[in-house]
Every structure is written in structure tokens, then in C-alpha cells.
Chains A and B, each alone.
Chain A
Amino acid sequence: MVFAWVYPLVFGIALLYLPLFLLSCFSKIKYVPGTIPACVYNFGVAMVTIRSIFIGVVEIYGRTNKNMVTAYTVLSILFLVAGALLIIGSMIYPLIKKDKVQKEA
């Protein structure tokens, strides 16, 4: 729980928005994630953060709940991976399409 603040920092800023920002600064690629890819990825970040807080609260009260912790872990990984793939896909797809159009032209 003590490190709950680390997850949005790492998964949100360090792994996603900072690279996109740097990409737009140093290349011609300017990309803003669409609503759905961003929601899916942000949901994963939220789940991993809430997982950390949940484990902390449960431990404070001397309880255990392995099933819920497992559910949080699975959801976090699923949505983080799905969100990342959607974002990368939505970045690459226009480039591929543009390339194809140029070749056809």
C-alpha cells in the first residue's frame, strides 16, 4: 500500500505518456491515444493501484482474501496488456495505411 503511488507514475507516465511526449518532441509522429485504448489502459493502471491499496487495507485489519487479490492481479495484467496493444496498434495502423496509400499512389 505504501507504494500505491508508484504504479500510476510508472505505468501511466513513465511507460506511456512520457514516451509519447518525447516521441512527439523528437519526431514527426504526433499521437494521442483514442478514448477506448486510453480507457482500457487507464483501467489497468487503476486496477493495479487499487490492488495495492486493497492489500494494504486488508492486512491492516488482519484479514486475507486471496481470491480477490488474484482477481485484481489478473484484471490488472489483462487490461494493461490489452490497453498497451490497442495503443500501439492505433499508433501503427495509420502509419501502415499511409504507407499503403503512398505505394498505391
Chain B
Amino acid sequence: MKKIAILVPLAFVAVGACFTTYSFLDTFIIVKHARSVDIDNNSSFSFTRASYPTKTSNSNSSKSSSKSFSFNSIPSEPGEYYEDKTEEEINALFTTDVVFREKEHYSDPDIYIDITTHRDEEDTTTYYVADIRLKSLENLKTALAKDTFGENINERTSDICKRKKGILAIDGDTYGSQEGGYVVRNGKVLRTTKNLNRGRKYRKSDDLVIYGDGTFEIFDEATTDLQTIVDKGAWQVFSFGPGLVINGAIAVREDEEVGTAMQDNRNQRCAIGIIAPLHYVFVVSDGRSNESFGLSLFNIANIMKDLHCMNAYNLDGGGSATMYMDDGTGNANGRGHLVNKPTQDLYGQSGTVGQREVSDIVYIGK
């Protein structure tokens, strides 16, 4: 009887411990549904160029407008894009030879990137804006960790960018941490299952599609079939969200937060926006440190709107938020460096800068 009184509880504790350990391994470590995919070969994808208004040399005012947006509906018509440069001025931004200035600027015949550092209105947080102009949408790409699709497959943003010989990279939608959500990368459909509950009160299932004509659209995954989006020429589809700016109007409430945010609503942020087709912005903010407290979704949405984004979308922030710049050579001893200061701290304790491994990136490259 004494043995039963000792052995039975021990057996239950052992079973419980094993099950708990397995559940955490299954969530964070065990690789699932892994398959090697080649998303770099996109010769069959059709890129078309959208026409959009540019400032004429005789016009003194830029064309911009924003449409009103109703919180519970997805607008179907794009507004007019913002442009304050003539076509000649835009072409002059591209350079014949590669121009590279660390943490500031890159240009060549096809790509123009200008990075500026800012402080938010309350002077609590540093954020970085990469203004990007491209000659072709082919230069706006995505890449997967270890070139493998699946859950719990992760790699640092800088390592993926260097391997792809990218020039500028930010983390993506971390699809590998989710069991569902549409995934289309470089024209290839990788996942068709939905993820409708992302832990948010509002705008629960916003996805972003980048079409082959260089335009963005934010749609509701709950009510949209992926095939419809693919048939319209989807180049990339992301499933994190929410949409920050939709057709020129802010689409998040002041109290809105990503369901997976660690603390209150001030965190590191990562966002992508379109000012006009082939004119994009990547915005990454610091947070959870003594220098930078972090931004709310409403803050970052205002920043994107102030940058004249017609559509802007929230990507994975927090410890995943990373902006990395390189010279496009992929050299291990090259000029690659972090633009922002990613930290894994919860409360800014140590200020140690360190990247989190992510499942995918969005990058500019040849």
C-alpha cells in the first residue's frame, strides 16, 4: 500500500510532465509540414504595369485623395495615388552605377532606396522609413527560412537576406507560427487554409495581396476565396494584419492591438505600404527599450498615412521586427547591417540588440 501511495502519484506526475513537454515541443520546436520549395523561379508569372497619375511638369499641386472608409466593409475601388515628382524626376533617382551609403541609401539602374530615421510625435520611439522605388515589381520579393515551407522553420532576417543577395529586407508575416492563413510567395500558392481568429477584436482576418501590376489590396480572408485573388494575378499574399490604411483612410481604432502582442499596445512595429505602384515604404520601429517605448497600431497607421500610403499593412512586430540592409552581393564580409535595433526584451531590461528568427522575409533584390 505504501508503494502504491508513492508510485501512483509519481506515475501521474511523470505522464503530466511528458505531455506538457511534448506540447511545448510541438508548438515551438517540432518542424511540421516541411517541404522544400523554389519560389525564386517566377518566369511564368505575368507582371503588368499599372498606370497611375504622375505630377505633370506644369502642375503645381500633387494629386492625392482619400476615400471614406467604413469600419466593417472592404472598399472595392482604389483611390488616386500620391505623386509629387514628374517622370523625369523619378527617372533621375535611379543611378547608372550602384550607390551605397550605409544605413541611408542604395540606388542602381533598377532600384532606389532611401532610409531615414525619425522620432514619433511624442518623442518616445525611433522608427525607420525606407522609401523604395522600383523599375519592376520583380525586385519586390519574399523568401522563406531555409528555403523550406513549413511550421517552426526559422532563420534570422539578415541570414535569409544575405543568402538571397538582397539589398533591403524586413520580416514577413511569420506564417510558420500559424497553423493557417493564405500564403502566396513570388506568385506561388503555398497554403490555402484560413486563419480567421488572430486574437483581435476588430479586423480579425485582414490579408494583404500585392498584385502583378504593383498595386496593393487588403481583403478579408473570411469572405474571400484565395483562388479569386490568385486569378487576379497575386504576386504575394500575407496573412498577419490588420490593415493600417485602406484606400487612404486609417483603418484601425485607437485601442486596437494585435492579439499576440506582449504588453499593452506599445511594441516594435513592422509595416509595408504603397504610395503608388512601384513606389513603396517599409517602416520598422524600435520598442521595449529605454530609448524607444514602442508604437501602438494607431500610431503606426498615422505614420503610414502621413507618408501618403494609399494602403498599408501591419506585419509581424514585437521581437520579430527587423530591417536589414546589405549591398546585394551576399558576401559574408560585406556591408550588411541592421537598420533598427531589434530586441527580445519584454520590458527593456538589458537593451541587448538581437534578431529573432522568423519564417519569412520581404526583401528588395535583383
Contact, CB under 8 Å: A68 / B23: yes
B346's closest neighbor in chain A, by CB?
A: A60
Residue B262 is within 8 A (CB to CB) of chain A in the complex: yes
A61 within 8 A of B: yes
Considering the complex, give the chain B residue whose CB is closest to the CB of A64. B179
When chains A and B are docked, how far (Å) is the Cα of A57 from the Cα of B24?
9
Of the candidates B8, B179, B318, which one forms a contact with A62 in the assembled complex, judged by CB atoms under 8 Å apart? B318
A65 contacts B27, C-beta separation under 8 Å: yes
Instruction: Assess whether B68 is interfacial by the CB under 8 Å rule.
Output: no
Mark interface residues in B94-134 (1 if CB within 8 Å of A CB, else 0).
Answer: 00000000000000000000000000000000000000000
CB of B207 within 8 A of chain A?
no
**Closest A residue, CB atoms, query B6:** A35
User: Are B27 and A62 neighbours in the complex by a CB distance under 8 Å?
Assistant: no
Docked-complex contact B23 and A65, CB < 8 angstroms: yes
Contact flags B198-238 to A (C-beta < 8 A → 1, else 0): 01000000000000000000000000000000000000000
Find chain A residues with CB under 8 A from B27 CB.
58, 63, 65, 68
Cβ–Cβ contact A61 & B260, under 8 A: yes
Chain B at the A interface: SS class: helix
- Shortest Cβ gap from A63 to chain B (Å): 5
A90 to chain B, nearest CB (A): 14
> Which residues 1-51 of B have a CB within 8 angstroms of A?
4-5, 8-9, 12, 15-16, 19-20, 23-24, 26-28
When the two chains form their complex, are residues B179 and A59 in contact, meaning their CB atoms are under 8 A apart?
A: no
* CB-based contact A65/B16 at 8 Å: no
Q: How far is the CB of B15 from chain A (nearest CB, A)?
A: 8
Q: Which B residues are in CB contact (< 8 Å) with A71?
A: 19, 23
The secondary-structure label for the interface of chain A is helix
B318 in contact with A36 (CB, 8 Å)? no
Knowing A36-B8, A71-B23 touch, does A62 contact B316 (C-beta < 8 A)? Answer: yes
B178 touches A61 (CB 8 A): no
Residue B334 is within 8 A (CB to CB) of chain A in the complex: no
In the bound complex, residues from chain B placing their C-beta under 8 Å from that of A46 are 16
A residues near B199, Cβ cutoff 8 Å = 59
Set of chain A residues within 8 Å of B26, measured between Cβ atoms: 65, 67-68
Q: How far is the CA of A45 from the CA of B4 in the complex (A)?
A: 21
Proximity bits, B175-188, A CB within 8 Å = 1, else 0: 00111100000000
Q: Is the CB of B260 within 8 A of A50?
A: no
A54 with B20: in contact, given A63-B177, A64-B179 (CB under 8 Å)? Answer: yes
From known contacts A39-B9, A62-B316, infer whether A54 and B24 are also in contact, taking CB-CB under 8 Å: yes
Nearest residue, chain A, Cβ from B197:
A64
**Contact flags A39-77 to B (C-beta < 8 A → 1, else 0):** 110110011001000100111111111111001100100
Q: Is the CB of A64 within 8 A of B20?
A: no
Is B174 on the interface with A (CB-CB < 8 A)? Answer: yes
A-B pairs, 9 with minimum CB distance: A62-B260, A68-B23, A65-B27, A63-B177, A43-B12, A39-B12, A35-B5, A64-B179, A39-B8
